[in-house]
């Protein structure tokens, strides 16, 4: 067949997909431990939501969105990120007070594809809404750190910065603007255009950011309350024994951040794509999308990058392969009974020879082969270490005691 997946998208098949499944299960377990229930939000949203939420001078919004007009003439966009949609859902729910949500799924950005930078990629994340305290930030940051440590991202480093708030940031932005004006001749046209509109985005530019090593730093311009918040977040992380590195150049690519911003970096990955996750506080986002004031904090992790960096091998998901000497109809009934007892069992539906079935069992890496000889006959249980015989209804208890 000549069809290929669209550029920058992937088919993930077994056995690699089994590593994904395990990583997602592990994620669910950590999100549940921290009290984050699942939220399901649409993959398409009004284009306005991202323009107003993520910011219409960000690269994500100006260059990377998959936007189209639907049959009803509305402009809709495949979600490039999850925070705007989750905050919209929170506001629509009418909930008052602290509210937690975990999400996972595909996201879309029209980027130049390479390893770890895809046009369709998979994120898991959390948002914690209607919370103001530094304890909320610390809890969120810790959750991502514990999960990434548990799954084994090598050379994991947490970087953290503060981006100030509506009081202190404008003063800093003015100073940054003057600094950039003085350097305007060295900048690309697209950065020069941003000096007036959104100078912070110039620092985030791939072409110009690295040239601006001596730019003014937000951290030197924080107001007293932002300083106190930032210092408390750092102290709490130290108490939680979550190691971090301060990075006063960390600005993040989305406009909604205030105060805390952080990234989880996998130093073993290629430097251009080594952020395995990122997040921060966004105290003005809910209002920016037309809602009431509802400060929040959250993060998203890039599962494609996590899988690249851990490259883990997952054991076979089968407990046993059922080989039938009496054809597939019998095997279907026997396998069903074992599955209802909780075992992970597969068998051949196509009536192939016993020899061929044994070959499939070994290719599948099944640790146990169950030979079905027919009604009334005990099942022949074959393992690497020996054999046993049990009636069908006792096979699952044999598994429980054998393990």
Give the C-alpha separation, 136 to 138, whole Å: 5
Q: How far is the CB of 395 from ligand HAM (least distance, A)?
A: 44
Q: Binding of ligand HAM at residue 111 (CB under 6 A)?
A: yes
Q: How far is the CB of 184 from ligand HAM (least distance, A)?
A: 28
Instruction: Choose between 306 and 320: whose C-beta lies nearer to ligand HAM.
Output: 306
Name the segment binding ligand HAM (CB under 6 A); options: 96-104, 301-309, 319-327, 328-336.
301-309
Q: Binding of ligand HAM at residue 55 (CB under 6 A)?
A: no
Return the residue of 109, 169, 177, 201 that touches ligand HAM, per CB under 6 A: 109
Q: Binding of ligand HAM at residue 82 (CB under 6 A)?
A: yes
| Residues forming a β-bridge with 127 | 101, 298
Q: How far is the CB of 293 from ligand HAM (least distance, A)?
A: 17
Instruction: Choose between 172 and 257: whose C-beta lies nearer to ligand HAM.
Output: 257
- For residues 218 to 257, the per-residue mask of contacts with ligand HAM, x marking binding by CB under 6 A and - elsewhere, is -----------------------------------xx---
Name the segment binding ligand HAM (CB under 6 A); options: 15-23, 75-83, 209-217, 328-336.
75-83
Query: Interface residues for ligand HAM in 118-157 (CB under 6 A)?
Result: 118, 121, 123, 125, 127
Instruction: Choose between 102 and 366: whose C-beta lies nearer to ligand HAM.
Output: 102
Q: Binding of ligand HAM at residue 283 (CB under 6 A)?
A: no
Q: Binding of ligand HAM at residue 164 (CB under 6 A)?
A: no
Q: Binding of ligand HAM at residue 39 (CB under 6 A)?
A: no
Q: How far is the CB of 317 from ligand HAM (least distance, A)?
A: 26
Instruction: Choose between 66 and 179: whose C-beta lies nearer to ligand HAM.
Output: 66
Q: How far is the CB of 205 from ligand HAM (least distance, A)?
A: 15
Return the residue of 143, 156, 250, 276 that touches ligand HAM, per CB under 6 A: 276
Give the C-alpha separation, 56 to 77, whole Å: 14
Q: Binding of ligand HAM at residue 302 (CB under 6 A)?
A: yes
Q: Binding of ligand HAM at residue 299 (CB under 6 A)?
A: yes
Write a three-state SS string for the chain: CCCCCCCCCCCCCCCHHHHHHHHHHHHHHHHHHCCCCECCCCCEEEHHHHHHHHHCCCHHHHHCCEEEECCCCCEEEECCCCHHHHHHHHHHHCCCCCEEEEEEEEEECCCCCECCECCEEEEEEEEEECCCCHHHHHHHHHHHHHHHHHHCCCCEEEEEEECCCCCCHHHHHHHHHHHHHHCHHHCCHHHHHHHHHCCHHHHCCCCCHHHCCCCCCHHHHCCHHHHHHHHHHHHHHHHCCCCCEECCCCCCCCCCCEEEEEEEEECCCCHHHCEEEEEEECCCHHHHCCCCCCCEEEEEEEHHHHHHHHCCCCCCCCCEEEEECCCHHHHHHHHHHHHHCCCCEEECCCCCCHHHHHHHHHHCCCCEEEEECCCCCCEEEEECCEEEEECHHHHHHHHHHHC
Residues that bind ligand HAM (CB under 6 A): 81-83, 109, 111, 116-118, 121, 123, 125, 127, 253-254, 275-280, 298-300, 302, 304-305
């Amino acid at each position: 067949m000549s069809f290929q997946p669209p550029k920058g998208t992937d088919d993930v098949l077994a056995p690699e997909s089994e590593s994904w499944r395990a990583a997602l299960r592990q994620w669910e377990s950590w999100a549940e431990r921290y009290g984050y229930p699942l939220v399901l939000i649409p993959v398409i949203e009004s284009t306005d939501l991202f323009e107003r939420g993520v910011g219409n001078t960000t690269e994500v919004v100006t260059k990377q969105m998959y936007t189209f007009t639907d049959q009803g003439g509305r402009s809709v966009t495949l979600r490039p990120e999850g925070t705007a949609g989750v905050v919209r859902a929170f506001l629509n729910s009418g909930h008052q007070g602290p509210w937690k949500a975990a999400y996972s799924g595909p996201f879309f950005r029209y980027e130049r594809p390479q390893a770890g930078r895809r046009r369709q990629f998979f994120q898991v994340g959390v948002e914690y809404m209607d919370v103001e305290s530094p304890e909320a930030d610390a809890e969120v940051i810790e959750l991502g750190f514990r999960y990434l440590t548990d799954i084994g991202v090598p050379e994991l480093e947490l970087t953290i910065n503060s981006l100030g708030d509506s009081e202190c940031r404008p003063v800093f932005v003015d100073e940054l603007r003057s600094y950039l004006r003085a350097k305007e001749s060295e900048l690309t046209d697209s950065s020069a255009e941003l000096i007036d509109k959104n100078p912070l985005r110039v620092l985030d530019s791939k072409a110009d950011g690295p040239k601006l090593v001596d730019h003014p730093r937000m951290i030197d311009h924080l107001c007293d309350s932002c300083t106190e918040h930032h210092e408390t977040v750092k102290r709490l992380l130290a108490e939680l024994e979550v190691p971090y590195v301060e990075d006063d150049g960390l600005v993040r690519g989305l406009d909604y951040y205030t105060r805390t911003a952080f990234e989880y970096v996998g130093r073993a990955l290629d430097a251009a794509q080594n952020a395995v996750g990122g997040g921060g506080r966004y105290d003005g986002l809910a209002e920016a999308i037309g809602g009431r004031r509802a400060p929040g904090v959250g993060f998203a992790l890039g599962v494609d990058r996590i899988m690249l960096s851990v490259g883990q091998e997952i054991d076979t998901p089968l407990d046993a392969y059922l080989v039938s000497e009496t054809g597939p109809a019998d095997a279907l009934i026997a396998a069903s009974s074992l599955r209802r007892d909780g075992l992970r069992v597969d068998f051949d539906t196509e009536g192939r020879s016993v020899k061929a079935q044994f070959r499939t069992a070994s290719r599948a890496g099944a640790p146990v082969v169950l030979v079905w000889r027919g009604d009334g006959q005990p099942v022949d249980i074959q393992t690497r270490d020996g054999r046993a015989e049990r009636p069908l209804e006792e096979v699952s208890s044999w598994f429980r005691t054998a393990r």
